[in-house]
Amino acid sequence: MRLSASPLAAFATIVTFPMNFTIPPLDTALDKALQQKIDNKTKPLGSLGVLEKIALHVGRIQQTLSPRFTRPCNLIFAADHGAAKSGLSAYPQDVTWQMVENFLAGGAGANVFARQHGLAVKVIDAGVVHDFGKRNDLIDAKISSEGTRSYLVEPAMTRAQCCAAIGKGAEIVRGLATEGCNVLVVGEVGIGNTASASLLTHVFTRTPLVDCVGRGTGLNDAGLARKRALLAQAVERAKLPADADAVTVLAEFGGFEIAMMAGALLAGAENRMTLLIDGFIATSALLAASRIEPNIRDYCIFCHRSAEPGHQAQVHDLGGEPLLDLGLRLGEGTGATIAYPLVCSALAFLNDMASFDSAGVSTIIT
């Protein structure tokens, strides 16, 4: 869970976009009243542990003593990666569009958990190499019908494409905000995107590349060794300067879905949404977003610790404290969706639990 900001990495540079994001630091004026309300519930002080921190945190985001979630949504961004054709994944690239069809049919893990916990699911084609045609349940935000280029030989996207993806993600979330959504999950699908996330994590956090690269969709030892070698080749090819800005890094190594997720998260914080942060890919998007607007960190709750090794470096850099550690590495926003009812429980006790006064229960002896 995000409770306080940590310093930005020394190399990070804040950049300005044609679409400006204004994310103010959280106002702590209500903190004393929120804490008094929490402490006056019929329980020993601090006995609900992390739930008490969540209640205060969401109350601070919404600037109310009675925070509530409305119209929760999981946005699943889909795109293909040119580098995936080089054998970075255990699965073929066609799985990306096939999984989009699975989402649209309601059969994926993200759909199952969203139905269980009452979240809407919206699927966004950010750049899948497939023609889906006009579909009622699919948002066509395709930046390129060919996916990104291979960062093994050239930047994955142009700066203009990267900015377009960020802007489109922001536009989608601003639309959700007008519909009353105030709690957001961003998920993804895209064969090869754990490789992109590994590269972004390496560059943004300065963690050794070998510590950022995991098995993704289930690579064996030989596949993992090949993935590490290819990503090292990409880093050497790019030779990014230490002061490279967030858009330069995203354009070099990112995916359209990751850039779009970054824009979605930025717009979510701008609209005072509570951002439920998923695993490795989603957090790579948050890393980029935090380099664009550092205050975004204060609107986040880190929902689970991914089994991907690079996630630990991400969470440390962002000052996060994940709620769950279940060995998950599916993506799609599943970890955040599973954690959503825990966050709802924090609001439930704050809003509905009796106080010592209302219940006529004796309070602590001073």
Q: Is 332 a catalytic residue?
A: yes
Which sign, positive or negative, has the C-alpha torsion 196, 199, 205, 209? Answer: positive
Residue 340 tokens read as: 């959503």
Distance between CA atoms of residues 296 and 115, nearest Å: 28
Catalytic position from the list 52, 188, 252, 332? 332
- How many angstroms separate the CA atoms of 269 and 226, rounded? 38
DSSP per residue over 58-127, as a string?
HHHHHTSSS----S-EEEEEEE--GGGGGT-SSS-THHHHHHHHHHHHT-SHHHHHHHHHT-EEEEEEEE
**Residues counted in the chain:** 366
Query: Which is it for the CA torsion 264, 99, 335, 245, positive or negative?
Result: negative
* Number of Cβ atoms within 10 Å of the Cβ of 13: 16
Relative to beta strand 183-189, strand 120-127 is unpaired
- Alpha helix positions (H), the chain: 31-39, 50-62, 94-105, 109-117, 159-178, 193-205, 221-238, 246-253, 256-270, 280-292, 310-318, 334-352, 356-359
Query: Is the CB of residue 59 less than 8 Å from the CB of residue 65?
Result: yes
Please tell me the distance from the alpha carbon of residue 149 to that of residue 73, in angstroms, as a whole number: 30
Contacts 24+ apart (CB under 8 A), 153-161: 153/237, 155/238, 155/251, 155/252, 156/81, 156/82, 156/83, 156/196, 156/251, 156/252, 156/253, 156/254, 156/255, 157/250, 157/251, 157/254, 157/256, 157/259, 158/251, 159/247, 159/248, 159/251, 161/251, 161/256
* Other residues' Cβ atoms within 10 Å of the Cβ of residue 228: 18
- The catalytic residues are 332
